[in-house]
Structure 1
């Protein structure tokens, strides 16, 4: 019996080695999972037409080494907590709005100034270009990896029971907004700004907590805001500056080839990709709402638009003044913004 022991030991070691090799090979083949969080509904253009295809592109570009799992509708983190959830690693990637975290993003709020640019495609190019030139803007994203910027389609006024035909009609109305310069603008124009996350707007309108809101057409459509509003102003007030960021530690831990693939699907390319799709969806939603019974579209005259712009201009001065007091060259940054506006608005 004694001579059999070495043979048994060799066989046992052989099978242990095979098992160890197989388990580790299986682990090596498992894709890196990246959790992407956002607040928009699953039928919104940003989810179904932007992030779902983008996630597939990432998987293909990395030859299956990465799998992006998307959590829409605040399933992983609330809208206002998106940035922090990426910083602390609850999520690996997050899509959010600068106005929801004014304490984090101070100088970048410049991209939310009223009547800054005409439409979303120009807005996305302006934001991306100026950000890349200004270190002070980049410093506010030091705790994350910025993947890309984009402007929402233009935000417009939508109200439940009272139409807004002139600037005077806005006075005293409670209007939902995302915060930042937009809230200050509404206050300057005579309204009472109310900061409410997009998923909670429907209920707020239904209960009369707010009288109206500023939303793009596609958001009115996907959040079913047309069910609780009936008056729609066609004039664009401002674009909403959005960002897609990634947990910095997670990004740096990725293999070089994976980082390279991710970089190729970020930046200017991703900004234009997402903005163009959102713009097309916005136009489609506008026409869909236009056909609904009981809804009125209100066009301002050119003179009325000028009145609104003139009334909002103090916000620009106040913003630049507040930034300059902190030792930040606000005027210089605004000059850079205006150069980009002129460049892309031709």
Structure 2
């Protein structure tokens, strides 16, 4: 029970509420917030929390991770709403798969480099110099990946508790180096280079090239380059630019070491409980998203990166076909070791997937 409101005058002739009315006003404010929040949620038939490891306003959020959620909301005409949590404030990027599988969130983006220990067969697309996407027609990649899903990859995801909705490949990782290290134009230039990486197959690739992969958080990448803890970084170009690596490097070499697949998936139980029309909307949004991303990615690779680096005084280096062939030969052990390790898993699923890949990207 709330006492009567008591008001007293201050020496400045202003009215001042005592503690009782302050409490009453606070309770009313909270109640209004709760009512408004409940009404906002009530407008949607389905409301889901959705995380991203990318910072707010990042290029990959705008063109991939959050582009999909926005498209779902648009196609569903508001029946589906997502509460977005960028910057790892809800879940660490490396834990997206487990959190989705276990129902902590119903939907999330993922990257195969984060899932090398939990979904190892998903990393097949990361293998260096296996799939060449940038600068080419992405439709070839999409056809290949759809066929891989039909060949057993989707069933593999289902066994792991998630449903794959859509995805693409990041632009292949290059190596951006400091002035002190110098440019990377050929295989020999990589030897001994301390390179910050996001992990996954890329680490094995760098070891095969006699480089030294270094585990450093992306938020510490800039200062680590400044201080000389690392000589270079390997990351998707849009992420490099988002984190302003171009301010502390002098050379950006497109050695194209391969890149992780990025994707959107759902908790399998949640997915199976959704009505068909909502599933169809989410799958259509996935197709729309990957088509949008393919165009945006190509434009970024061909226009944005060169312009940003030129303005910053960073030399953009394209590796010659001869050096690409040498790099491919030097990393053959990575592909062979991966197949040797996982080739018999899931009743030979890897062999089926490789057959599909070589159909669209012939083995060289």
Shorter-chain TM-score bucket reads 0.7 to 0.9
Distance 1:90 1:299 in 2: 43
Match of 1:56, SS?
helix
- Give the structure 2 partner of residue 13 of structure 1: none
Report if the CA contact (8 A) 1:58-1:265 is conserved: yes
TM-score (norm 1): 0.82
Distance 2:70 2:244 in 1: 28
| 2:97 corresponds to 1:76 | no
- Give the structure 1 partner of residue 99 of structure 2: 85
Residue from 269, 287, 290 that aligns with 1:271:
290
Q: Deviations over 1:125-171 (max 9, x none)?
A: 26523422321563145311211121011211111231223211211
Match of 1:221, SS?
helix
| 2:167 corresponds to 1:149 | yes
Distance 2:39 2:323 in 1: 68
> CA, structure 1 residues 122+63, in 2 after alignment: closer, same or farther (shift >3 Å)?
closer
> CA, structure 1 residues 187+62, in 2 after alignment: closer, same or farther (shift >3 Å)?
same
Distance 1:217 1:290 in 2: 11
Report the aligned-residue RMSD: 2.8
Q: Deviations over 1:66-122 (max 9, x none)?
A: 112222121211111121222233333211211112111222211111111222426
- Give the structure 1 partner of residue 34 of structure 2: none
- Give the structure 2 partner of residue 252 of structure 1: 272
Report if the CA contact (8 A) 1:124-1:272 is conserved: no
Report if the CA contact (8 A) 2:152-2:349 is conserved: no
Report if the CA contact (8 A) 1:36-1:70 is conserved: yes
- Give the structure 2 partner of residue 56 of structure 1: 70
- Larger deviation, residues 325-334 vs 289-298: 325-334
Report if the CA contact (8 A) 2:226-2:248 is conserved: yes
Distance 1:288 1:233 in 2: 15
Report if the CA contact (8 A) 1:149-1:243 is conserved: yes
* C-alpha deviation, 1:246, in angstroms: 1.6
Distance 1:287 1:185 in 2: 25
> CA, structure 1 residues 275+299, in 2 after alignment: closer, same or farther (shift >3 Å)?
closer
- Larger deviation, residues 243-252 vs 217-226: 243-252
- Give the structure 1 partner of residue 194 of structure 2: 174
Matches within 5 A, 1:211-226: 211-226=231-246
Distance 2:288 2:87 in 1: 25
* C-alpha deviation, 1:325, in angstroms: 5.1
Match of 2:234, SS?
strand
Q: For this pair of structures, how many residues does the alignment match?
A: 320
- Give the structure 2 partner of residue 4 of structure 1: none
- Give the structure 2 partner of residue 291 of structure 1: 310
Matches within 5 A, 1:1-346: 29-120=43-134, 121=138, 124-125=141-142, 128-135=145-152, 138-142=155-159, 143-160=161-178, 161-162=180-181, 163-196=183-216, 198-266=218-286, 268-324=287-343, 326=345, 328-342=348-362
- Give the structure 1 partner of residue 30 of structure 2: none
Q: Deviations over 1:186-205 (max 9, x none)?
A: 10110112344544433443
Match of 2:184, SS?
coil
Report if the CA contact (8 A) 1:176-1:213 is conserved: yes
Distance 2:154 2:199 in 1: 19
Q: Deviations over 1:2-47 (max 9, x none)?
A: xxxxxxxxxxxxxxxxxxxxxx999864442122211112232221
* C-alpha deviation, 1:123, in angstroms: 7.4
> CA, structure 1 residues 281+41, in 2 after alignment: closer, same or farther (shift >3 Å)?
farther
> CA, structure 1 residues 52+104, in 2 after alignment: closer, same or farther (shift >3 Å)?
closer
> CA, structure 1 residues 25+270, in 2 after alignment: closer, same or farther (shift >3 Å)?
closer
Unaligned runs of 5+ in 2: 1-37
Distance 2:40 2:224 in 1: 50
> CA, structure 1 residues 174+287, in 2 after alignment: closer, same or farther (shift >3 Å)?
same
- Larger deviation, residues 193-202 vs 75-84: 193-202
Distance 1:164 1:47 in 2: 30
Report if the CA contact (8 A) 1:157-1:212 is conserved: yes
- Give the structure 2 partner of residue 17 of structure 1: none
Distance 2:77 2:171 in 1: 33
Match of 1:218, SS?
helix
